[in-house]
Amino acid sequence: MGNRATALTEKGEIDRARAAFVQELALDPDEFTSNLNLGVLAKQDQDYAGARRYFERALKARPNDPGVRYQIANVDLATGNADQARQSLEALIVESPDFAEAHATLARVYYRLDRRADGDRERALSQKLMDQRDAAQTGAKPR
C-alpha cells in the first residue's frame, strides 16, 4: 500500500495519499515510509506537533536516518527553536557531509542567529554540492 500512497502523492492526490498512508499505519504503526510522508504532509500543513510525532516514529523505525533527522531540524526551525535546529544540522553534516540541503538549511539557521560568516560559508558549500550533483546527473562539469 505504501507504493500506492507514494504514487498518489506524486500525482498530487494528497488527500487520497494521506488516507492511504493512514491506512498503512493502521496495519503497521511503525512503518517508516508512511510515518515519514505523513510527517512531511503535516509539516506542509504547519501541524508541527503532528509532524514531529510522525518523524519520531519514522526515526524509531530507522534510527539515525539522515532524511528524518533533517526533517526534525526543519520542524525545530519552523517552531522557533533555531539553536536546536543548529545543533541537529551541525551533527547531521558531520555524518553526511554531502547533504546539500542540510548545508542550505544550516545557512538559514546561521543567518537567523546573526552568524553571517557561517551562513555565507554554508550557503557556498551547499551551492557547490548542488552544482556537483547536477553535473553528475547531466554529465557536465561543475562550475
**Which domains can be identified in the chain, with CATH numbers?**
1-62 (1.25.40.10), 64-143 (1.25.40.10)
Q: HSE on the CB side for 137, CA within 13 Å? A: 6
pLDDT band at residue 117 under the 50/70/90 scheme = very high
CA 116/CA 39 separation, integer angstroms:
31
- pLDDT, average across residues 2-6: 71
Structure-block grid coordinates of residue 80: 522557533
Q: What amino acid is encoded at 4 in this protein?
A: R
- pLDDT, average across residues 111-118: 97
Residue entry with cell 501541524:
47
How much is the mean pLDDT over the chain? 93
Q: What is the pLDDT of residue 17?
A: 87
pLDDT band at residue 72 under the 50/70/90 scheme = very high
Q: Quick check: 47 pLDDT over 70?
A: yes
pLDDT in tens, 8-22: 778 888 888 899 999
CA 82/CA 63 separation, integer angstroms:
23
Query: 13-21: long-range contacts at Cβ-Cβ below 8 A with a sequence spacing of 24 or more?
Result: 14/41, 17/41
Helix locations, 46-115, DSSP H = 48-61, 66-78, 82-95, 100-112
Look up the pTM and report it.
0.87
